[in-house]
A = this chain, B = another copy of it.
Amino acid sequence: MTSKRYLIIGGVAGGMSVATRLRRLDEHAQITVLERGGHVSFANCGLPYHLGGVIEERSSLLLQTPESLRSRFDLDVRVRTEAVAIDRAARTVTARDLTTGEQTVLPFDALVLSPGSVPIRPPMPGGERMLSLWNIDDLDAAMSRLEAKPRTALVIGAGFIGLEMVENLAHRGIDVALVELADQVLPPVDPEMAGPVAQRLIDRGVDVRLGTEVVEIGPGSAMLDDGSVVAAEFVLGSVGVRPETGLARAAGLELGERGGIRVDDRLRTSDPHIWAIGDAVEKVDAITGEHRLIALAGLANRHGRLAADAITGRDIRVRDALGTAVVGVMGLTVAATGWNEKLLRSRGRDIRVLHTHPASHTGYYPGAETMSLKLLVDAETDLILGVQGVGGDGVDKRIDVIATAMAGGITASELAELELAYAPQYSSAKDPVNMLGYVAMNAADGLTPSIQWHEVDRAVEAGATVLDIRTAGEVDEGAVPGSLRIPLDELRDRLDELPEGRLVVHCKVGQRGHTAVRLLAQHGRDAVNLDGGYLTWRAGID
């Protein structure tokens, strides 16, 4: 029996996960990993935090080295070696040693592509001064620029990674400007959820410029499309990535409409001897069934393991992807999975939208923090289409629980009955996830009709009255203009003070509003609850 020859292109998240699992499945195979860069198995996701000094040692980002992978897994790992061509007929790959220029032709029985993605660099005058942060070489370049102790920095792009860059540069004491083309930070979440994140950045001194583009980078500053200039001794770009598909394209492998490598549900490309995983590959979206690009380490790692299983003849199936993501921003946690409202509406999906602002744990136990949750529900099936969370402690927990519910086909209403761990410092007897279930159920039943923050103006124009049922103290902190004020606890006795017509009821978060709407409806009134209450309305209109 001759041993199998497995060849892997790309030696980080996806590629190295294939290699190690392959070794555990086949001790006698020849496993070779080609990596263009100088390092394999490094923590891409940790790069921003070393930049900021939070992760102190560069070496702690290097999880494995070619030597450690040799001794533990008997892998032939070749760094600074680029795969330059695939000969599908001959089943070989040509590898070039980037140090010596020497080329080698490597035969394979199975080939895995995990070449990742490359940062997009919008062309502009001075654009060469814009750094990226995608691998260890990038990190080293950025760290050496930081030795000059810049006092100002510009980050272009307010996505998840862009915000990590902002946080980390600010952590170094640098004055940071953030420029984003969209009119909100974190485009993957909806604007009323992103608003408080932008506010947090501003509160911490970041110069946040939304709906703006950088048009030129000068020696110590940058010019924006509105003509303004921001100081920028240090410039970091994070405006997205595109799949690294050059090799695959040249080899004639099928690509998809989103520009990624096409694979089947066993991670096989259009060539039966070639598999592909990671950022370079299109995933099937769990909500729409369409192909989509998702650049996340968890998927790359897990699909790496699955690819090894597939190659060695195990019967695997790749699950459609939700794209669960999380980021920490100056003490806030922002997490999301599935689709957002913008996307769902743009597809004309019939959805129910709900916002809550629960406490991370019981209010009577010290340290509870308010979070904001948003659930998107299919109006017909009650299935969960997406969820977003912003807050402090416990946001990641709730998003993970709901991502799991989505994977298990648990409907929005069924969230109500999940048995989640409760003691006063961890949750509430009705966990925020249960509470979302209740709100979803009340919406599905039509028990409490609600309207969204962006629908209030239209309702008022159509003759509705906004009824604010908060206490006087709460109203002092700000209110919807023109609202009538009757605290909930007085409402039953003051029904005769209400004007005719539709009532848009609101409290701070929506909870008391629900009780008020039920009360009013049973007294014959046409009342709707402002979903998410004053907090969501405020975040939306700001």
Q: A residues engaging B (CB < 8 A)?
A: 13, 20, 23-28, 43, 45-46, 49, 54-55, 60-61, 63, 68, 71-74, 160, 164, 296-302, 305, 319, 321-328, 333, 335, 337, 362-366, 396-397, 399-401, 403-405, 407-410, 414, 416-427, 429-431, 433-434, 438, 447, 488-490, 492, 514-515, 518-519, 522-523
Instruction: Name A43's contact: one of B60, B160, B298, B362 (CB within 8 Å).
Output: B362
Q: Which residue of B lies closest to A363 (CB)?
A: B60
Instruction: Name A328's contact: one of B364, B425, B492 (CB within 8 Å).
Output: B425
Copies of this chain, complex-wide, total: 2
Q: Which residues of B have CB within 8 Å of A447?
A: 24-25
Q: A327 and B423: CB pair below 8 A?
A: yes
Chain B CB within 10 Å, residue with most, of A24, A71, A518: A24
Given contacts A365-B46, A410-B407, A419-B324, contact A298 B429 (CB under 8 A): yes
Given contacts A299-B419, A408-B405, A518-B25, contact A364 B430 (CB under 8 A): no
Q: Which residues of B have CB within 8 Å of A515?
A: 20, 23-24, 72-73
Q: B326 and A422: CB pair below 8 A?
A: yes
Q: B400 and A489: CB pair below 8 A?
A: no
Q: Which residues of B have CB within 8 Å of A13?
A: 429
Q: B418 and A403: CB pair below 8 A?
A: yes
Instruction: Name A365's contact: one of B54, B434, B518 (CB within 8 Å).
Output: B54
Q: A27 and B404: CB pair below 8 A?
A: no
Give, as a whole number of angstroms, the nearest-CB distance from A309 to chain B: 9
Give, as a whole number of angstroms, the nearest-CB distance from A503 to chain B: 15
Chain B CB within 10 Å, residue with most, of A26, A299, A425, A489: A425
Q: A68 and B489: CB pair below 8 A?
A: yes
Q: Which residues of B have CB within 8 Å of A433?
A: 400
Give, as a whole number of angstroms, the nearest-CB distance from A193 to chain B: 15
Instruction: Name A419's contact: one of B298, B363, B523 (CB within 8 Å).
Output: B298
Given contacts A422-B326, A429-B297, contact A364 B408 (CB under 8 A): no
Q: B399 and A401: CB pair below 8 A?
A: no
Instruction: Name A366's contact: one of B54, B74, B365, B420 (CB within 8 Å).
Output: B54
